[in-house]
Amino acid sequence: GAVVSQHPSRVICKSGTSVKIECRSLDFQATTMFWYRQFPKQSLMLMATSNEGSKATYEQGVEKDKFLINHASLTLSTLTVTSAHPEDSSFYICSAELAGAGDTQYFGPGTRLTVL
């Protein structure tokens, strides 16, 4: 149980385009999902907290207009990187919080974004 999927697993795009990444909780409902960014050989950095039915909460230094988050249902959150640039290339990971399990987060497999 507690499986989280992400799609796509890998995406290459041209500079200036927008990319949407989906995060789904497959076997449980998640009112809260999280989006992280992981640079090579570094730890995960929280970008934003995604709450179902309300606006996301962004961490300091994360541009909310650049990283659009939508949490339309209890099993789906999306991250859209708008007008992507090479410096946005990174590994984006989502997690979903399993309610009633002590706020344990379960992580998706990540999405490797490469912006040319």
Which residue number, 44 or 76, has a Cβ lying nearer to other proteins?
A: 44
- Least Å distance, CB 12 to other proteins, is 18
Distances (CA, A) of 113 to 68, 107, 116: 15, 17, 10
- Least Å distance, CB 87 to other proteins, is 21
**Distance of alpha carbon 41 from alpha carbon 29, whole angstroms:** 31
**Distance of alpha carbon 52 from alpha carbon 88, whole angstroms:** 25
Which residue number, 19 or 56, has a Cβ lying nearer to other proteins?
A: 56
- Least Å distance, CB 114 to other proteins, is 17
Which residue number, 101 or 116, has a Cβ lying nearer to other proteins?
A: 101
What residues line the site for other proteins (CB under 8 A)?
32, 34, 42-46, 49, 57, 93, 95, 97, 102-110
